[in-house]
């Protein structure tokens, strides 16, 4: 399997936000062992992590090439235009931010050891509400019943990309930007 890594131009056929080399370098720098996985498994994990990054968040701004673009719609959520970082600076629209790449690497590494964990199958009606074992019973918190409640929360990912997530309101509303 050969993955196509987004190069910042809004490729119509990209299926990855990072390369295998990026994933391995990221893991090496953090002491994360990927040695028991093949390159094909790493590529598959990167594609699943990229799918999650592209489809599971509502990002600030707009895709560089939206529907109806003369060159065709880009396949991934990044690159984007009109995105502001936590310091008020506008991001370049011709690249994937390093925070998004790092978050993708975190998700890909997680997926290597937990295949399919980012897209679990969830049937709300099969959710266990209470269990009883002899005289002992356990009642579970049922406050959230949506599908996102069963997805893992990787705090490192949230911390890296939180600044780029849309926070409600209109995406067209004004915002101060540093020059």
| Lowest mean per-residue pLDDT among 21-25, 76-80, 102-106, 153-157 | 153-157
Determine whether 6 is exposed, middle or buried from the number of CB atoms within 10 Å of its CB (0-12, 13-18, 19+): buried
DSSP H or E run through 29 = helix 20-30
- Confidence band, pLDDT 50/70/90 cuts, at residue 172: very low
Burial 19-58 (b: 16+ CB within 10 A, else e): ebebbbebbeeeebebeebeeeebbbbbbbbbbbbbeebe
Q: Which two tokens stand for residue 140?
A: 């579970």
Tell me how far CA of residue 52 lies from CA of 15, 33, 102, in angstroms.
11, 22, 14
State pLDDT tens for residues 94-148: 999 999 999 999 999 999 999 988 887 666 656 666 777 888 877 765 555 555 5
Predicted confidence at residue 154, as pLDDT, reads 80
**14: burial class by Cβ within 10 Å (0-12, 13-18, 19+)?**
buried
Euclidean distance between CA atoms 33 and 120, whole angstroms: 24
Give residue 111's pLDDT: 96
Taking the model in full, what pTM does it have?
A: 0.79
Query: Whole-angstrom Cα distance, residue 116 to residue 9?
Result: 29
In the structure, what pLDDT confidence band is assigned to residue 76 with cuts at 50, 70 and 90? very high
pLDDT tens, residue by residue, 81-95: 999 999 999 999 999
pLDDT recorded at residue 18:
98
Mean pLDDT (the chain, rounded)? 86
């Amino acid at each position: 399997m050969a993955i196509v890594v987004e190069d910042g131009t809004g490729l119509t056929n990209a299926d990855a936000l990072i390369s295998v080399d990026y994933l391995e370098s990221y893991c090496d720098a953090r002491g994360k062992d990927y040695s028991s996985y093949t390159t094909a498994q790493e590529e598959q994990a990167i594609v699943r992590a990229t799918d999650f990054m592209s489809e599971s968040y509502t990002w600030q701004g707009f895709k560089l090439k939206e529907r109806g673009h003369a060159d065709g719609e880009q396949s991934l959520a990044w690159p984007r235009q009109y995105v502001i970082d936590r310091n008020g600076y506008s991001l370049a629209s011709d690249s994937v931010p390093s925070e998004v790449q790092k978050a993708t690497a975190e998700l890909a590494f997680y997926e290597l050891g937990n295949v399919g964990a980012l897209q679990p199958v969830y049937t709300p009606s099969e959710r266990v509400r209470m269990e009883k074992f002899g005289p002992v019973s356990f009642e579970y918190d049922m406050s959230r019943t949506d599908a996102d409640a069963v997805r893992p929360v990787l705090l490192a990912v949230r911390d890296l990309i939180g600044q780029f997530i849309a926070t409600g309101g209109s995406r067209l509303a004004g915002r101060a930007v540093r020059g």
